[in-house]
Amino acid sequence: MSAVRPRWSNALFVAPFLFFYLTLLIWPLLAGMALSLFKADLFGGRAFVGFENFARLMRDRVFLQAVANTFYFVLLSVPPLTVLPLFLALLLNKGGRLAAFFRGVFFSSSVLSVTIVTLIWRMILMPDGGFIADVRALFGAAAIPFLSDPRLVMISMAIITVWWCLGLPMMLYLAALQQVPKDIYEAAALDNASWWKTLWSITLPSLYRTVALVAIFQVVLQFQLFGQPQLITQGGPNGASRPIVLFIFEVGFRRWDIGYAAAASQILFAIILIATVVQYAVSSRGKASA
Amino acid sequence: MSPRNARTLRDGLTLIVLIALGLVMLTPLIWTVMLSLKSNGELLRSTANAFHGPWTLENYGTILKNSQVFRWLMNSAIVSGCTTIGVLVLSSLAGYGFSRVEFPGRDALFLFVLFGLAIPEQAVIITRHQMFSFLHLHNSYPGLILPGLSAPFGVFLMTQYFRAIPKELDEAALLDNASRLKVFWKVLLPLTVPAQATLGIFTFLASWNDYWWPLISATRADMFTLTVGLASSQINFAQTSGLGYLMTQAVFAAVPILIVYVIFQKYIVKAVSGAAVR
């Protein structure tokens, strides 16, 4: 009786989910790929143009700037989002109420929505009445144009994002630290190994896989940057804070050039697919060697 | 330096670093609360006095009289609640299906569902929006809820969880001639409560904070969720004369989810740990 015969009726368990999966995720994905080959607008006008939308994207300065902005943002935000939470986890990897309190503090921002986060940070960064400007005024210093200087605006977005997102990676590191076998530490203590030596030769090497996973997960996540610049700067000044997703949003839902927007979203999909495949490779290789 | 002294010094330094970083973390939140307690007229002149009085609760009085904000709160609760229940039901059924029963093409189908983990919401948004227009689902609760039901993460999580439960349990029940549905309902489902809690909290948080889809689908103010409603309030940020009121809205929007966080903190930590060990 242990070998159960395959039966079609058993598929009924997965059918309800598959219905939503196929109609609301897979179908729009395929239809979007098809749509990217058309010149199409909201009013039903539709003409097959082959890869013209993609060729147009490659010539579109606004799009190329958005791609460059997005890569720049990922470069600015992912390293701190990989290292700072690791540092916090190392400090907070102990029992007791104090550590639990600080874990709560560093995770609290993660449960807020992007609209709350942007509202809060505008009041910190704005040159007229923002917190930093007020503090600088106490010392007679001029306000910094965090959001209106094209050289500073993406850095500001990265600071906001690091503040918002560091809780989850910190928790992931803490969980991974719990997995390091205790007897290794006991052996190190018997050998009178210093705290630093224990950190460098035991703790960090055993976190290698988690560090890689956090980094790639953040790459995937931060490539989808949207709400922060959309709400704070609308992509400005001069497009300096417009990421790919904001480009898709503007072209698709403000200019209703939907074939063109669909083409741009395929490029985003391709980038994220590559990152996900790398993530899968890292995660399965880590398991094989463990 | 003796090891004991070194340890005390290290603990002291750790605490100083933690307090400093904790202050950086909390300052934006405290600043927001302080501003929400000031009168709008005073903030229009200067925000420099936010850390001393006079304070006022006038902004909180205004928000309690604003029925629209409560409507958004209700919309968020309905959408997040229904999405969470829907995801739990669909994922549990599918997780059982993929891990416990056999049907032709099962494993290939599971791989196909895993592929969905790599599809970003933004890649499907244009055509999904058209589809919902065609079905007249924009500005409706089903329109806000349905897309959340197509995400494969829950199926992945529940399948992994079911696989970890020993097969002997349900096989014994099947020998007693219980039906598959009964085994699922009476024997296995009660064992998955921890995974249900994890998935439920994650789904609720993600749905509550979702900005991208409701921004596009809900265009009528009475169908906004709290997240989108708050976005609509800050559109005219530069011209606003009600800074204090705007900050009060931020506090008002943050409080429900912070309460959920504090209540379910244990489960959230467990949830993340589970995800990391996987």
Would A55 be classed as within a structural domain?
A: yes
Q: Tell me whether residue B151 is exposed, middle or buried, using C-beta atoms within 10 angstroms of its C-beta: 0 to 12, 13 to 18, 19 or more.
A: buried
* Interatomic CA distance for residues B270 and B260, integer angstroms: 15
Is residue A167 in some structural domain? yes
Tell me if B203 sits within 8 A of B147, measured CB to CB: no
Between B117 and A16, the more confident residue is A16
Name every residue whose Cβ is closer than 8 Å to that of residue B137 and which is 6 or more positions away in sequence.
B143, B146, B217
pLDDT value at A75 more than 90: yes
Report the share of chain B in percent with pLDDT over 90: 41
A104 interface with B at CB cutoff 8 Å? yes
Average pLDDT (A1-6) is 52
- 244-283 in chain A: CB under 8 A from chain B: 245, 248-249, 252-253, 258, 261-262, 265-266, 268-269, 272-273, 276-277
Please give the pLDDT value at position B238.
63
* Residue A3: predicted pLDDT: 45
How many independent structural domains does chain A possess?
A: 1
Overall average pLDDT of the A242-260 stretch: 93
* Domain annotation covers residue A224: yes
Mean predicted lDDT score pLDDT of chain B: 87
Does residue A134 fall inside a structural domain? yes
Q: What span, in angstroms and rounded, lies between the C-alpha atoms of A117 and B219?
A: 22
Does the residue A225 lie in any domain? yes
Chain position carrying tokens 């309800």: A16
pLDDT at B87: 97
**Mean pLDDT across the stretch A135-142?**
88
Query: Per-residue pLDDT for A1 more than 70?
Result: no
Contact B211 A16 (CB under 8 A): no
Domain of A146 in residue numbering reads as: 49-289
Q: What is the CA radius of gyration of chain B?
A: 24
Domain B59-277 has CATH 1.10.3720.10: yes
The mean-pLDDT minimum among A26-40, B3-17, B96-110, B242-256 falls in B3-17
- What pLDDT does residue A287 have? 55
At residue A164, does pLDDT exceed 90? yes
pTM of the model: 0.90
Q: What is the mean pLDDT of residues B127-137?
A: 93
Better-predicted residue by pLDDT, B221 or A195: B221
Please indicate whether, in this complex, the C-beta atoms of B103 and A266 are within 8 angstroms of each other.
no
Is the predicted pLDDT of residue B4 greater than 80, yes or no? no
Decide: B224 and A129 in contact? Cβ < 8 Å.
no
CB–CB of A115/B253 below 8 Å?
A: yes
**pLDDT of B273 strictly over 70:** no
Instruction: Extract the tokens encoding B237.
Output: 């940020």
Amino acid A232: pLDDT: 92
- Residue A261, pLDDT score: 95
B window 22-51, beta carbon within 8 A of A: 22, 25-29, 31-32, 35, 43, 46-48, 50
CATH of the domain at A64: 1.10.3720.10
**pLDDT classification of A289: cutoffs 50, 70, 90:** very low
Write the DSSP symbol of residue A3: S
pLDDT band at A130; cut points 50, 70, 90: confident
A129 touches chain B (CB under 8 A): yes
ipTM score here?
A: 0.88
Query: Cβ A131–B28 below 8 Å, yes or no?
Result: yes
End-to-end Cα distance, chain B = 42
Chain A residue nearest residue B205, CA to CA? A111
3-class DSSP string for chain B: CCHHHHHHHHHHHHHHHHHHHHHHHHHHHHHHHHHHCCCHHHHHHCCCCCCCCCCCCHHHHHHHHCHHHHHHHHHHHHHHHHHHHHHHHHHHHHHHHHHHCCCCCHHHHHHHHHHHHHCCHHHHHHHHHHHHHHCCCCCCHHHHHHHHHHCCHHHHHHHHHHHCCCCHHHHHHHHCCCCHHHHHHHHHHHHHHHHHHHHHHHHHHHHHHCCHHHHHHCCCHHHCCHHHHHHHHCCCHHHCCCHHHHHHHHHHHHHHHHHHHHHHHHHHHHHHHHHHHC
Reply yes or no: is the peptide bond before residue A243 cis, omega within 30 of 0: no
* pLDDT for res B239: 65
- Using CA atoms, how far apart are residues B26 and A49, in angstroms rounded to an integer? 53
Using left for φ > 0, alpha for ψ between -120 and 50, and beta otherwise, residue B151 falls in: beta
The pLDDT, as a whole number, for residue B7 is 78
Q: How confident is the model at residue A5 (pLDDT cuts 50, 70, 90)?
A: low
**Res A69 pLDDT > 60:** yes
Q: What is the mean pLDDT of residues A100-107?
A: 90
Residues in B touching A26 (Cβ below 8 Å):
116
Residue A13 within any structural domain of the chain: no
> What pLDDT does B159 receive?
92
Which range is least confidently modeled, A56-70, A180-194, B98-112, B262-276?
B262-276
Identify the pLDDT of residue A2.
Answer: 41
A26 DSSP assignment: I
pLDDT at B38: 86
The yes-or-no verdict on residue B274 having pLDDT over 80 is no
The domain locations on chain B are 59-277
pLDDT mean over A193-204: 83
Tokens linked to B99: 């891990």
Q: Do A175 and B212 touch (CB under 8 A)?
A: no
Residue A246: closest CA among chain B residues belongs to which residue?
A: B122
pLDDT of residue A260: 94
In this structure, are residues B201 and B192 in contact, taking their beta carbons and an 8 Å threshold?
no
Give residues with Cβ within 8 angstroms of B115, minimum separation 6: none
Residue A37 lies in a domain: no
Q: Please state, in angstroms and rounded to a whole number, the distance separating the CA atoms of residues B248 and B245.
A: 5
pLDDT of res. B265? 77
> pLDDT band for position B275 (50/70/90)?
low
Residue A11 lies in a domain: no
Q: What does the CA dihedral A6, A12, A14, A15 come to, rounded to 10 degrees?
A: 130
Question: Is the CB of residue B122 less than 8 Å away from at least one CB of chain A?
Answer: yes
The whole-chain average pLDDT of chain A stands at 89
Instruction: Summarize the confidence of residues A229-239 as an average pLDDT.
Output: 91
At position A43, the amino acid (one-letter code) is F
